[in-house]
Every structure is written in structure tokens, then in C-alpha cells.
Chains A and B, each alone.
Chain A
Amino acid sequence: MTKPKISSDWMCGCAGCHMSLLDMDERILKIVELADLRATPITDLKEPDASGVDVGVLEGGINNTANEEVAHKMRERSKILVALGDCAVFGGVPALRNFCGVEAALRRAYVEAESNEEGSQIPNDPELATMTQTRAVHEVVSVDYNVPGCPPDPDVIFYVLSELAQGRKPELKDELLHWH
């Protein structure tokens, strides 16, 4: 029997959820034993297999057109899609800019911030992705499992991945359920 394939990617997050994944220490060997870890930000493959994976994991919210592509691709190629961490589940800290709008946030960051040089402008290279409102993954593509936490505890990530790798449905409750 072939091992189930797991792939992950990150979008509008801080990489902290993947750090937390690594924080499970030697238990990552158990995950590798149970599953075939394919494209992830921490492995060499950069895209989920075109032939599809069993579990796709997305960290971060969706705040531009590039992230939308990543999310759609992961959704299309995954049997089960996991939204990992508060940004993927709720929008998280980046979603705070929704309260002021993309324009105001960009202006603050690239023009008004004290660290900017005189005459700084909002980047407008046509190759850049277009910024959008920050959204939770489930607002863009359907999500099978939301795993909240900022970041989710390594124990929670290990539990979710090992359950999914063994074909079981993870149930997040009690000690395993934290939004932070």
C-alpha cells in the first residue's frame, strides 16, 4: 500500500505555523513514516503533485491574487484540505487591515511609515499580484478541516496530520482546541 501524500504551502501568514510544525521535533519522523511528505515550504518540491495529494495544508490567509492561485491549486489537487492556523482559519492578524482598507494599509506601510525615505511610493509593478481584502481560506475555497491557533500547538498539528495520514477524522476539542 502506498503512503498517503501530504503537501503544504503558505500564503498570507508569518511562517509561524510551519515553525510550529517543525516544533513537533522527533515526531516529524513518525509523520514521515506514516505519510509521504511532498511539496512543502520546507522541502525541495515547490508545488503539490499534479496527480494530486491526499492531504493539502494551507497556512495563512488570502490577501492577493497570487494567494488565490495557490489556494485554488491546492484545493484542486488535494482530497482533504486543511486550513492551518488563525490566519488561514479566520484571516488572523493580516485581516486587521480590512478594518481600514487595502489602500490605507499600503499607504501607511510604503509612504507614511517613519522608516520610509522621502518620496517613497506604493509599489505598482504590473508583475506584482493585486492586493485584495484579507480572507480566511474557507471564504475562497472549501475547507475540510479548520485547525485554529496562533500558531496551533505542535501537539495539535501532530494529532491532525497523524490522524489524517491514518485515514481517521481528527476531532478538535477540549485541550486540542485553541484559537489563541
Chain B
Amino acid sequence: MVQITINKQQIDVPEGTTVLRAAEMAGINIPHLCDHKELTPYGGCRLCIVEVQGIRVPMASCTLPVSNGLVVETETEALKKSRQFVLSMLFSERNHFCPFCQVSGGDCELQNAAYHEEMTHWPIQPGWSDFPVDTSHPYFVLDNNRCILCRRCVRACAEMAGNFTLSVAERGAKSMIVADTDIPLGESTCIKCGSCVQVCPTGALIDRTSAYQSHDKNLQEIKSVCVGCSVGCSIKIMVRDNRIVRIEGNWDGAVNHGAMCEHGRYHESNENRVRITTPLMKKNGKLEPVSWDEALSAVQEKMTKEGVAALASTRLSAETLAAFKDLFESKLHSKLVTSIEEGVPTAAVAKFAETHEGFEGKLDALKTADTVLCVGANVNRSHMVAGFLFKRNLNAGVNLINIDPDETSLDEVARVALKPKAGSDHLLILALQAVIAKEELERKSLNIKDADARIKKAIAETGISEADLTKAARMLAHAISPMIVFGKGVTAQRDEKLIEALYQLAVQVGAVDGERSNILSLKGEANSQSAALMGLDQPFNPNGEKVTYLAVGDDYVSKKLVEKTSKAEYLVVQASYESKLTEQADVVLPVSIWAEQEGHYINLDGRMRKTEKAVNAPENVRDNLDVLTELAKRMKLTLDADWKKSIRERKSSVALN
């Protein structure tokens, strides 16, 4: 710890802390614009200047590390004058006229800074140069006229999303934020995560949907967890008048620390599907609105002992999934009770976990990994924030090896991209082990006897050259902290032998040893892991059941599921949105969406988190769990499943915490 004095207040802070952050810890706010707590200090705006005893000129506190005995003043008349000057220069650069700017009135850090320095006007008028406005992006607008060149967006793009799309073109006063090689944002390599918008201190980057809808002070902020996928990002749902205005990454939350992906930030709040707001029942071949009582009575009557084929979305809460399992499996003794993902992302892993409980590691290890092996895991398409954690380090020398039969955008940033022919990835993994063994690079020997044969077979059947194979194997074996991430490309094969091969590879290169276990599967939807732990992971193959009950909630429905249930004798669909599935249903029960309910979720590395209710559901729509409970009650059954117990029924592949 280092002791420093700020505004006569003595505080102890860890070594390496900047004066700006140290002041914050002491509850002292030093005005700043370019600095952001989740980004590397940049020292560009000079607003955070402070007086340091013994130093002649004011120092930028955002880049000044603390040292023992440092004496700092943050609010003197001289500093105020200097800050007013810094702000005057900023205002003189571009179009910072407030009255028609969407962030004016509390949401603009530049304006707030001017208020803090009690500026009533600009001593220097602007130079009236016109800068480009880029409106090509589907989710936000880049107005360079409002930009103060703090480069927060550039840093967020690189340091949070690891995408390196934004940069600065030109020099001096003409400097401009551009995408890639100065092409329209909408046509650039932008992955639409919106991190840049979230960090922009002015109105230079504005969100299309939420612009002009409300000042932040009028928004209700509900801290919750994203249910877009199994990463489980911490989010803030910004609500006004029972409407989601915007979703933001929660800087102080676990997992993502503010970062979000396109899906979580934009898709979950911009819903285009048609909401179902009343129970529906098929009468004379047509779905007609009915009362809840009529709908539930009809369903209850049909749920005979002859068995129900039941399927639930893995976007539902653990509480709901446990009740679902309790009702259909324990109480109604159905043979076919599963989840919408049918165990595709989890079943093989769960099976392997029976002998290797808790073999998977933690997501955070990706932040410090020096070599990442992705196998059938396209983190540019799903589970994007997991990808951010290592992609942001790729420019700093982190190696990415990508194994995927398909061409993906991840190949572009990979040092080695291996494309095994479909179905041959097992051979490839075994061959990687063989090369590492043969070259005596093993951290732990796997006692491989047939190395040459494995390599030969892999070269013949995977379509991968010996050079690429060797390069990948060496890269992985030489890593100091390697990490293996695998996704649906692997788990969809339901082959636990393949999981075992990956695990052994991890052991062989030291990714898994006594201290760490740097191997992780991406899983699927938000509650994939809960469903897996409850055993809701068998393939959905109806076999003459009289009733089919699909609790899909607000999930998307696959064509396959629609086909599989098209011949169902009696189809009950518990859903939030209209779909091909609800069209063919006999009864449709309208239920709440993710933001209208609360419940627990287990993310891909075993974190148990609770989502919060942010908005109220429409009048005649019920909670997913309540519908199941009510149905059971009508059948004189009491649902008594405890989700916390239900998830302990099987051994978990990840440690739960």
C-alpha cells in the first residue's frame, strides 16, 4: 500500500493506482473526460489536472501513478482556470451547441464538466468546420461534429470487444474517428456490440433506438443478468414507463465488466415478433381467444396418465425448469421430458463429468491465457463476450488456434486455422496429442504409443497438412497458460470420447494440472447448464404420447421442432410470441418474457445468478412458473421441487458458485 494525501485527506491505496482512481476511492471526484475506469489511461483531454506538491506544473491525474508521500490538491482556483481553458479549447474545436443534442441536460460529460467549472459561456467561439456524420450503422450514429477525440470508443473497441474496428484518421484538429480504413461503419468489421456508444462521453455516438427517449435521470435502472446466452453478462435494464429503453453492460457486475454483444444489447430489447396476449384455443380449426380458466381446464383434462411429451426452453429460470421437471417427470411420470436444446451443447460434457466432476474451468482464465484453442466454438457468432476476453489480447501476442470445419470470421484473427473435414475432428485432436508427444513437448505424458500412425491417419482423413498440424501442436505445447474452449461444433456430436480427447490434450499441455483447469465448453442458452444438471437433455423424439407440452417461453423455435410436433395429437404451447409452433397448437398459453420475470440461472462456468423483473407483463399474460403451478393445482398435484436440490442431482462439469 502507498500513502498519499489528496485535498488534505490521507489515504492508503494499492501501488500502481493512478491519482484519479485513488481520489475516487477517497470519494473525491476529479473532473475527467478521456479516462474511463474500464479502459487504459490515455491522458488526452487534460481535464483531470491536479496540483502536486513539489511539481511546478499541473499533472494529468489519470496517468500519474501514486507514490508514497504524494501531496495532491484537486480543486484550487488556478486549477479551475486551467480546466476552464481546457474546456474552452474543446468547445472551440467542433459543433458543441447544446440545445439540439440528445445528451444535453445531464447525460453529457462534457456539458457536466463545464457546469462543474461554472462556465457560463465559451470564451473562444468554434471554428465552424463541418465534420462527417456516419448514419450507416443499424444501431447507432457517429457524429464527428460532437466528438472531443477522447478515444474512449477506440479503446473500448480494442480493449473491451477486442475488435479493433475504430481508430483515428488525420491529424490535429482534423482528427476523426473512423471505422477500418475510413469506410462507413455499417460496412465495416464492426461486430455491433455497442461498447463504443456506452463509453462515449458526448453525443458523438448515439444509440438509434433510445435517442431522445429520456434523460438518464428519468430512467429506472434495474441490475440484472442477460439471458441471451450461457455467458450470463451483468446488465442494466434501463426502463421508462414500463418500457425497456436501452440495455447497458453493468460496469460493476461480474463476468463482462460492462462489455456486451449485439445480441444482448440490441436484440433482447428490439423485439419484432408478435406478442401473444391472451390464451388461445383451437376451435373449428382456428385459434380463438379464450379465458385462462377455459384454456387451463382443457389442458388439465387432456393430461392423462398416457404420458406427455414435454419440452422446456433453456431460457427459462432454474425455478421454472425444476417445476417443469417435477410436474412432468415426477408427478405425471412422462418418459420424454427434455429441453429445447435437447442436450446438444451439454449432454456429452455431462456424461464425461460423471467421471471427471468439475473438470471445466473459469471464464476469467481467458483473460490471461497466452494461447487459446477454439474447437467448434465460433465466438464471433455466439457467446461473443467470451470471445472478447481473449480477442482483446490478440494484438498483444496471444495466439489463437481455431479448429472449425466451417470458414468463420474467427479464422481471420487466428494464427493457425485448421479446417478438418466434417466428422474428423476427433482424429485431429488425437494427432495434435501425437505431435506433442513425438516432439517431447508434453507437460504430462499421455504415454502415446501410436504417434506416427495417428499423425498419418489424421493427415489422410482430416485434409490438414502436416505443417499446419505441427505448427498448431507446437504453439499449444509451448504456451505458458493455454486454454481450450469448445462449442457446439464438438458437443453436437454427442461423443464424450471427443470431450475426453480434448481433456487429455489439455492435461498434456498443462492447461489442466493440479492448480488450474483451463478447459471450458461454451454450452448454449442462458440456462443450458441448469437443464443439463436436471437431466433435461435427451433428444426430443415423441413416441405416440397423447399430449405434447412445449414451454418455449420467449425462445425462438426451430423448424425442426415445428416439424416434429406437427403430427402431435394434442399440442399445448406455452409461449410469449407467435410462431409457426403456436399456429399449429391446440392451446396456447401466453407467458411473460425474460425481463418480466425473475429467476436463477447458471452460466457456462457455474455462476449462479438471479435475473430481476424489470417490466410488467401485459395484463392477461402469466409468469412461466405460475402457469405450471396453476396447472398442477388443478390436477390436485403439489409441485415441491427445490431447484437448488434439482441441480445437485448430477455431477456438474463446472464448479457451482
- Residues in chain A within 8 A of chain B (CB atoms): 83, 86, 89-93, 95-96, 98-100, 135-136, 138-139, 143, 145-148, 150, 172-174, 177-180
Contacts and interface: CB of A to CB of B under 8 A. Distances in A.
Contact of A83 (B100, B105, B121): B121
Given A86-B98, A92-B99, A150-B99, A177 B118 contact: yes
Contacts of A178: 105, 115
Given A150-B99, A179-B104, A180-B99, A173 B118 contact: yes
A86 B99 contact: yes
Contacts of A147: 120
A172 B122 contact: no
Nearest to B111: A179
B125 A180 contact: no
A136 B91 CA distance: 14
Contacts of B128: 98-99
A53 to B, nearest CB: 22
The number of chain B residues touching the other chain, given as a range, is 10 to 19
Candidate in B95, B99, B130 with the most chain A CB atoms within 10 angstroms: B99
Interface of B: 95, 97-100, 104-105, 111, 114-115, 118, 120-122, 125-126, 128-130
B125 A139 contact: yes
Nearest to A96: B97
Given A135-B125, A138-B121, A147-B120, 11 more contacts: A86-B97, A86-B99, A90-B97, A90-B122, A96-B95, A99-B130, A143-B121, A146-B120, A146-B121, A173-B115, A179-B114
Contacts of A96: 95, 97
A139 B128 CA distance: 15
Contacts of B98: 86, 150, 179-180
A135 B130 CA distance: 17
A148 B99 CA distance: 10
A103 to B, nearest CB: 14
A95 B97 contact: yes
Contact of A136 (B104, B125, B129, B130): B125
Nearest to A88: B121
A130 B95 CA distance: 25
A134 to B, nearest CB: 10
A171 to B, nearest CB: 8
B125 A99 contact: no
Nearest to B145: A99
B501 to A, nearest CB: 64
Contacts of A148: 120-121
A108 B100 CA distance: 20
B101 to A, nearest CB: 9
9 contacts: A90-B125, A95-B97, A136-B125, A145-B120, A148-B120, A173-B118, A178-B115, A179-B111, A180-B99
A160 B433 CA distance: 80
